[in-house]
Chains A and B, each alone.
Chain A
Amino acid sequence: MNAILPRLPVLLLALGAGAWAAESVPRPPDRIIELPPMTITDTIDAVPWLYVSVGDTEFLSRCSREITREFITTQLEIHHTLRDVIPPEFLATTAIPRVFLLLPIEHSNIRDDAVLRAMVADASRPTPRGVIPFDDKHSKPSLFERVLFLPNQRLEDRDTMAAFTFLKESNFASDRMIVAPDYVRSLLARRTPMLPQWLIEGLTLLYQQTIIRAGPAAVVPGNWISPEDTVGLRNSPDNRRVLLSCEELFAVDALIGPDHQHPTREIVWRLQAALFVRWALDHANTRGSDVLWKLADRVSREPMTEKILIEYFGLGYSDLLERLSDYLPNAVKYSAGLSLKPTPDLLLFEITPATKFQIARLRGEWERLEIPFVRAHHPKFLPHYIDRARLTFRRAIALGGRDPQFLASFGLCELDAGDIPAALPSLEAAMAAKVFRPRVYFEVARLRMDALARHTPKDQQFSPGQLQPILEPLHTAIGQSPPLPEVYILAMDAWLRCQEPTPPGELTMLVEAAPLFRRHPGFALRLALLQIKNGQRTAAAATLTTGLQFLGEPSARSRYQQALAGLAAPTATP
């Protein structure tokens, strides 16, 4: 029929392996257009949606009850094991439930030709300049043939996450499911206080190498920078060992700057980060995995230094490099055992038929999250995704849906679609209903700040009364989980434009939040500016100096250095 369908079994096989993320699916050729899955053709109304709420996840499934139960049970198991390998305190948490959509591949149509034809027709319409984008007339296959709906995908928002999976029920094998590596990376990257990049990469790669579902948990032999290097090291420990110094491995600018971006260096850095984590967790080398976790906690709040390494491992950077080098031939040749705690009883859950509002809210949430993705990657297809999401929400509204979470999702949907006037009432309504959704409060505050600042000079100062409608939702967002850096930054921006000094309690609250976002390039700078505005020049210098230690990006470092230089310069006498 076309070039896509023959690949379908491969994609489904990947799905069977439990990969959540699109990146775990074999990548199609470059010219393939990967679009998020759509559940638009409800031709199987006879198959009911099932709903499960367990732990921090809401599931919406059209698979059979048995498969749904098995899938969810396995999900709970593998997420439990993930938290056994990586202690939960190093993974991001959110009070907002994750959304998980589960559909059987047999009853679905991941490539609805009718829909696709319509989308392609729209996308191929001449642009105002008369150029037909996408479809190169002289190339094969055509745009229609090149479009592929991904069979599974995970999408994120600032405060939540949703996943979509097509499942082949006839050969579903739950024991092949794992937590997708990019999800692990995301959980580590969103953790506050923020973890250093080397630790995020190291733990993610290590988790990929961990077998946890068959027999005792173990880390399988890893690979090194090329198949030749891996085989060479397996055959002889005297083989060459391509490495980075530990100074570079732990540096904030390990991969930043022209001298640090060679592909070989990049891959060495990633693999060496994993090697260090593996070495540190291997009881044969250290006094136990606790040492690594203590170090991880420390370096989430402080920049990694040789002194800290010595404190925890009794080794300097050069000692560690030598240990890692000598460990490398073992790591590519042998498995390393991990001692995990026995799995406790899993949470019980009940499978119920989904209500129309549950279906609309969870589907709508997924479809809403598709909008930023399609806008970023394939904007020509955006209108169809926006229309689909709006249709889902509006159907439910027509049926009387007024749940605060639903309103929040709808408001954010309109916001992501670019219709602020349509978004604001829903967001305000969700806020009034005290919805637990920090992004809602942030967006309302941001929109209010934009409105206040519009048509005013940049240096215009506002009274506390004018800023109160902005700060109030931000205070609510600060009290919610997960903590979002943009919430604090907007609060600091607001106080920077206030005619009055910042109340001490407010400033203290912002200073106390700084350790959560040490690696955020704008946080410490804003805080320092606010401290300067409030006459705390010494504290501002300390904030900048500390912040600088966590930054590798040259432009960000330059801004900090300029601010520090400004502080060092003598102040003008009024």
Chain B
Amino acid sequence: MSRRHLIFLLLLAGACLPFARGAPTPFEKFVTNLYRPWQAEQVALSPDGEHLAYTRHEAGNLVIEIMTVSRPAPKFKIIADDDQPVLFAKELRPAYLRFLAWASPTRLVFAPVPKADALTSITAVNRDGTAPMTLAAPDDFAVTVTFAPPGVGGRERLTQRSIHIVGFAPGHRETLLIHALGTAPMPYATDVPTTLVAIDVTTGKKTELAEETNYGRYLPHPGGNLHLLYSQPRYATTRIFELKKPGFWDRWITLDEAWGGPLTKAFKVTPENYHGERAFPLGFDVDPDLLYYASNVGRDTYGIYALDVRKKQRTPFAVEEPHVDLALPEPGDPSPLVFDPITSQLVGVRGVGVAPFTRWIDPEFATLQQDLEKKFPQRTVELLQWDDARRRLLLRVTGGIEPGRYHVFQRPENVMVEVLRSAPWLRNADLHRGTTFAFDTPGGAHLTGYLTFPSKPRINPPPLLIDFSDGVMGSAQPGFHRQAQVLAELGFIVARVNHRGMSGFGLAHRNAFRDGGDRVPVDDALAAINWIAGHHAIDRKRMATFGRGLGGYLALRALQLEPDVFRCAVAIDAPLAPALWLMPPLEDLGPGSQADAADYKILLSSRPPPPIDFAQEVRRAFLLGGSAKLTSVLSHVETLTKPVMLIVNRPEDDPIALQNAFLRAKLSRQGLDPELLQTANPFAADLPLERAKTFRRIGEFFNLNLYDYGVKVGPTKEIK
């Protein structure tokens, strides 16, 4: 071996050393950086507009940083919570805040998101770190519950109650309103009530304002009073809204036709009408006789309206949007209603279409929104908060190539102060450009979606990946999408189609799936491909599908239904036989099932029956209650003739894991031998390092099955 060869080999070895030692590759670094917890997941502008508090993660802690807006000044840090260890993993699960707000220009209130094993406190602190105070701790609201089934002696148990933060009392930021939440009534047990408590954020003094034993979700009211309840009975599938009429013996009444007028007929909620035509209250105005509600009765999308409870009539107030639901089907958080913190007046209604938007009722904000959008073309501008004088406004700018930047618009100076970036460790030059699209299919469906273009495609024109994301019943996604960025890094143009069956785009859009089955989203994907091909260069010989959950199911069904169009598919945690997946587990049959009456008595004597899983009932009603049945991937395995990759982030005995293992075995018998990636540690599958490993394997799968130039590529087939 010559000296030159030796030097070359040494250099090569040196270059490979980092990888040999297990150092992350540039691709893995890209993925882990994308999935790091972002800055400013919670952010709050002080009432005088002078300070900004925001969250960031630092050395295993969730930190609140406080910065000065008007001038450069040192930032002050408060450790709010610590990240949590994950079983069998080196990574920590990041902590988050559920509440961050200024009680005054100097005093801050925050509360971490409760962890699985513990409830968390609410804390107040001055912006310089002085006068810290725990405003509410789980023990503060514990109640004693007596459990006394027949034949068994009564037992007492101290039960902690979860805390729901309502917000500051209108016009009184020094008072924080919270609900100590009750629980659903249990047989033989005393009730755990819901208590409304006012807390002075300076002294910590707590004052109980009201207490109710009715179980359900108390909707926030500017005055804090508990007089609107979304009841959630334990053993019934019908939910109603109840109203407390102070003038009528101070009792709860059903908000029905008798008490709310004809339109409140639509307020009843069942699994069958959940995704259908109905209406539901959102909350009261500062005027207690004015109730805002969402309704899609007689129209396609949810609009926002107001009901005068005293007159039992609808007011002229109406905010409507074609193609976009202005409310999610579940009342409560996040509420689409935006109230001014000073006046408590409704100033706007937020919506989530292809991009988040706000319909401002306050004309000043409406004008400002228009002006601000002109400053950031091709971006989504959200006016988040403002100071009391409305001289400084906090904006979030997202979309395109931008994960998120926060600006304070200083109106007197007419300048922007960029105060924060969601992910300052990501360079825009390294990211992939994104855009939205909208078109009407030949069949008349209005489709929207997102495209992410690879900045360095491996081949030209680039291949196209249809990402079904979370699939049916999923909702609109952010313009900047981490997964789309990773897939674009693999060289794809990534298309995320808001196909029919997804929520948030109106009744007809969602229910088309219920009546048309899995063919509908696949047809939408084909229509999107045609549209994309008409506007951008794509390699129609190299198209693949991708999805997670029901999106994974759709990815595989697309490969079964259109084998000439798609070359391969990746499905993550896909329920391959949705009907089986939606069947309730045996132990959850409950009293409403066909359980044997004698056995039921025995069961009842030993323990209370499990509550109704309303969300699962809703899914079942939607996916299985329509005229079209969902075809099982497993029942037509022979139609899967193209390479598939199955990824399972669940324990091996999970029904979805079992279904995927079954599919792999059947395909192997067919000689297709699909790749099955069973995540070693399901608890850490959503953490950055695990994701990076998974995406690396996905990249290898595509390298083998899509970019392999040795593969004979069939003729292009025009999609009809």
Chain A interface residues toward B at CB < 8 A: 226, 228-229, 231-233, 237-245, 247-248, 259-260, 262, 264-265, 268, 306, 316-319, 321-323, 325-326
Contact = CB atoms under 8 A, between A and B. Distances in A.
A238 B374 CA distance: 25
Contacts of A306: 377
Main SS of chain A's interface residues? helix
B72 A229 contact: yes
B416 A232 contact: no
Interface in B419-477: 419-420, 424, 427-429
B378 to A, nearest CB: 5
A245 B376 contact: yes
A380 B429 CA distance: 60
A318 B417 contact: no
Contact of A326 (B72, B413, B415, B427): B427
Interface string B395-430: 001001110010000001111111110001001110
Given A229-B71, A240-B418, 15 more contacts: A238-B420, A239-B72, A240-B417, A240-B419, A242-B416, A242-B418, A243-B415, A260-B414, A265-B415, A317-B378, A318-B378, A318-B397, A322-B401, A323-B428, A326-B428
Contact of B375 (A237, A245, A268): A245
Interface of B: 67, 69, 71-72, 374-379, 397, 400-402, 405, 412-420, 424, 427-429
For the complex of A and B, the 7 pairs showing the least CB-CB separation, nearest first, are: A232-B72, A245-B375, A241-B418, A264-B413, A262-B413, A318-B379, A228-B72
Contacts of A318: 376-379, 397, 400, 402
A258 to B, nearest CB: 10
Contacts of A245: 374-376, 416
B83 to A, nearest CB: 21
A319 B428 CA distance: 8
A244 B415 contact: yes
Given A228-B72, A248-B375, A241 B417 contact: yes
27 contacts: A239-B72, A241-B418, A242-B416, A242-B417, A242-B418, A243-B417, A247-B375, A247-B377, A248-B375, A260-B414, A262-B412, A262-B415, A264-B413, A306-B377, A316-B378, A316-B400, A317-B378, A318-B376, A318-B377, A318-B397, A318-B402, A319-B401, A319-B428, A322-B402, A323-B428, A325-B418, A326-B428
A327 B428 CA distance: 11
A323 B428 CA distance: 7
Contact of A317 (B377, B401, B405, B413): B377
A248 B374 CA distance: 9
A233 B71 CA distance: 12
Contacts of B428: 319, 322-323, 326
A247 B67 CA distance: 28
Given A239-B72, A322-B405, A316 B377 contact: yes
A265 B413 contact: yes
Contacts of B427: 326
A247 B417 contact: no
B415 A264 contact: yes
A256 B183 CA distance: 62
Contacts of A231: 72
Nearest to B397: A318
Given A232-B72, A318-B377, A318-B378, A238 B416 contact: no
A240 B376 contact: no
A77 to B, nearest CB: 37
Nearest to A230: B72
Nearest to A225: B415
A239 B75 CA distance: 10
A228 B427 CA distance: 25
Contacts of A229: 71-72
Nearest to B416: A243
Given A228-B72, A240-B72, A321 B414 contact: no
B414 A265 contact: yes
A244 B71 CA distance: 16
A318 B424 CA distance: 16
B345 to A, nearest CB: 26
A513 to B, nearest CB: 34
B406 to A, nearest CB: 10
Contacts of B417: 240-243
A326 B431 CA distance: 14
A273 B637 CA distance: 62
A47 to B, nearest CB: 55
A238 B377 contact: no
A241 B412 CA distance: 17
Nearest to A231: B72
Nearest to A314: B433
B143 to A, nearest CB: 46
Given A240-B417, A243-B415, A265-B413, A321 B376 contact: yes
B121 to A, nearest CB: 29
